[in-house]
């Protein structure tokens, strides 16, 4: 069964956006995944399509109402996990992306304003996911990034499935440096070992490089690797 994302948003026109181009767009056209948008405003209870109100207890901005969002969820949810894109969520990692790529249905809520009423999260057992420690204007951008990462792992999307195996974060390591032709450019040569044709030595060099780069740039990842060994 193909992967289906049902996206609840007040800006449905944003989708599929960049997901409609390149590999993800080709996969969308080929039916390897499906992207359905639901306009939360269509589930408002007044003729203006109001979806937000002022925060209880005061404070800046507006909050998305639980009754309207709940109405949108209940009319469109079929099965699977419900995710709310949120800076308070668990950080999105490649392991999480892999896990989500094995699902058939994902319902994704995109927040706007100052976010959504907490009771919605409790009522529907919603999982919160963050794409990083910074604040965006809306969950749509975050949802698109998460979907891009998920879709490229779906069967048939990348030509060669082996090509995701040595990438950064697989095995908690950053990727080793990569080179292509020309062999010499601006006086800089491709490391000789890569031209040796000796697969074992090449693999050893790449592993060493990956370890070195991870040690320098992301020692936090390396600790995870050593823990799991």
Footprint of ligand SAH on this chain (CB under 6 A)?
85-88, 110-112, 114-115, 130-132, 134-136, 138-139, 142
Q: Which two tokens stand for residue 94?
A: 């490649």
Q: How far is Cα 50 from Cα 47, in angstroms, rounded to an integer?
A: 8
User: Closest distance between ligand SAH and the C-beta of residue 70, in Å?
Assistant: 16
Strand order in 81-91's β-sheet? 33-39, 3-9, 105-110, 81-91, 127-130
Nearer to ligand SAH by C-beta: 110 or 147?
110
Phi-psi region of 13 (alpha: psi -120 to 50; beta: other; left: phi over 0): alpha
Q: How far is Cα 156 from Cα 171, in angstroms, rounded to an integer?
A: 22
User: Closest distance between ligand SAH and the C-beta of residue 90, in Å?
Assistant: 10
Nearer to ligand SAH by C-beta: 128 or 170?
128
Nearer to ligand SAH by C-beta: 137 or 160?
137
Length of the chain, in residues: 229
User: Closest distance between ligand SAH and the C-beta of residue 1, in Å?
Assistant: 27
Q: Which two tokens stand for residue 84?
A: 């709310």
**Cα 150 to the center of its chain, rounded Å:** 6
> Measured at CB, which residue is nearest to ligand SAH?
111
Nearer to ligand SAH by C-beta: 65 or 157?
65
**CA-angle at 181, arms to 177 and 182, nearest 5°:** 115
Q: Which two tokens stand for residue 64?
A: 């998305």
User: Closest distance between ligand SAH and the C-beta of residue 151, in Å?
Assistant: 18
Nearer to ligand SAH by C-beta: 90 or 204?
90
User: Closest distance between ligand SAH and the C-beta of residue 137, in Å?
Assistant: 6
Nearer to ligand SAH by C-beta: 86 or 101?
86
User: Closest distance between ligand SAH and the C-beta of residue 219, in Å?
Assistant: 23
Q: How far is Cα 3 from Cα 148, in angstroms, rounded to an integer?
A: 13
Q: How far is Cα 162 from Cα 158, in angstroms, rounded to an integer?
A: 9
């Amino acid at each position: 069964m193909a992967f289906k994302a049902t996206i609840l948003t007040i800006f449905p026109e944003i989708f599929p956006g960049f997901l409609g181009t390149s590999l993800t767009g080709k996969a969308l056209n080929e039916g390897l995944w499906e992207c359905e948008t639901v306009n939360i405003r269509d589930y408002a209870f007044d003729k203006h399509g109001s979806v937000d109100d002022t925060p209880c207890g005061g404070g800046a901005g507006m909050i998305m109402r639980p009754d309207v969002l709940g109405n949108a969820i209940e009319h469109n949810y079929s099965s699977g996990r419900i995710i709310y894109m949120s800076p308070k969520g668990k950080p999105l990692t490649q392991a999480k992306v892999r896990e989500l790529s094995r699902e058939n249905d994902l319902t994704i809520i995109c927040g706007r304003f100052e976010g959504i009423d907490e009771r919605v999260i409790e009522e529907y057992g919603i999982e919160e996911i963050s794409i990083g420690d910074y604040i965006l204007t809306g969950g749509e951008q975050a949802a698109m990034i998460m979907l891009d990462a998920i879709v490229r792992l779906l069967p048939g999307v990348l030509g060669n499935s082996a090509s995701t195996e040595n990438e950064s974060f697989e095995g908690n390591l950053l990727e080793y440096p990569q080179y292509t032709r020309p062999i010499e450019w601006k006086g800089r040569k491709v490391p000789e070992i890569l031209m040796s044709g000796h697969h074992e030595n090449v693999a050893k060099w790449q592993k060493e490089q990956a370890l070195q780069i991870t040690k320098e740039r992301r020692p936090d990842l390396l600790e995870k690797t050593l823990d799991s060994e």
